[in-house]
Amino acid sequence: MQALDTKLDQLAHRRETLPQHAALRELDATLLVLRDQIVAAETEADDITRELTKAEGDVEQVRARAARDQQRLDAGQVSSPKELEGLQHEIATLAKRQGDLEDVVLEIMERLESTQSRHSELLGQQEEAKARYTELTAARDRANAEIDNEMAVLRPQRDTQAGGLADELVALYEKIRAQQGGIGAAQLTQRRCSGCRLEINNVELGRLRAADEDEVLRCEECRRILVRTPESGL
Ligand SMILES: [Zn+2]
C-alpha cells in the first residue's frame, strides 16, 4: 500500500509540476505584453493618420490658393505692376511652401508605414503565441489524461489493499504519512528502518523479534510503521 501511495503521490506531484504549466504562465505574460503593444501601435497609427489628414489639408489649402493666384494672373485681372509683382512673389512663395508641406506629408506617410508594419509584425507574433498556447494546452491536457489513467488503475489497487487492513492501522498509517513526508510505513531491512535509514539497536531488535506477529511494529526513531520482510534481520 505504501508503494502504491508513493506512486500516487508522485503522479499527483507530476501533475502539479508539468513543464507546460510554467510555459503557459510565461506565454500568458507574453500575450499580455503583445496585446498592450498592439493596442499602442493601433493608437499610434490612428494618431498619425489624423496628422496625415491635417497635413494633406494644409497642402491642399496652399495648392488651392496658388491656383487661384495663377488664375488671376492668367486672366489678366491684375494690371498694376506693383500688384503683379506681389502676386508673382506670392505664387513663388506658395510653391515653396507647398513643396515643404509635401515633404511633411511624405515624412508622415513613412512614419505611418513603419507603424503599420510594426503592427502587423506584432499581430504575427500574437498569432504564433496563440498557436503555441493551443499546442501547450493540448499537451498539458494529454499529460493530465495519462496521469489520470495511471491513477485510475492504481487507486482501486490501493483501496483493495487498505480494505484488507484493520481500520485503526490504516488510520495510524495515514496519520504518520501526513507527518512524515508521505511515508507512513517502511520496510525493516537488514536491521534498518527504510524510512529514516537508522539502524535498530540490539535491545530494540530483541523486542521486535519477540513481538507477536500481529503486533504493529514502530520505528523508535521516526515512529513509522515497520513492515517485516524476510530480509529484516530479525
Ligand atoms: Zn525509522
Tell me the pLDDT tens digit for each residue of 86-137.
999 999 999 999 999 999 999 999 999 999 999 999 999 999 999 999 999 9
- Does the pLDDT at position 77 exceed 90? no
CA of 209 to the centre of ligand 1 (A): 16
Q: Please tell me the predicted confidence (pLDDT) of residue 234.
A: 84
Instruction: Determine the distance separating the centroid of ligand 1 and the alpha carbon of 196, expressed in angstroms.
Output: 4
- The Å distance, Cα 140 to ligand 1 centre, comes to 38
Local structure of 196: helix, strand or coil: coil
Residue 164 CA to ligand 1 centre (angstroms): 24
Q: State in Å: Cα 198 to ligand 1 middle.
A: 6
Report pTM: 0.74
Residue 229 confidence class, pLDDT cut points 50, 70, 90: very high
Find the 193 Cα to ligand 1 centroid distance in Å. Answer: 5
Average pLDDT over residues 165-194: 96
Residue keyed to cell 508641406: 101
- Whole-number Å distance, alpha carbon 135 to ligand 1 midpoint, is 46
Distances (CA, A) of 219 to 40, 100, 161, 180, 191: 66, 93, 22, 12, 11
Rounded to the nearest angstrom, the distance between the alpha carbon of 14 and the centre of ligand 1 is 27
How many of the other CB atoms lie within 10 Å of CB of 123? 13
Rounded CA separation 1/62 (Å)? 91
Distance 204 CA to ligand 1 centre (A): 12
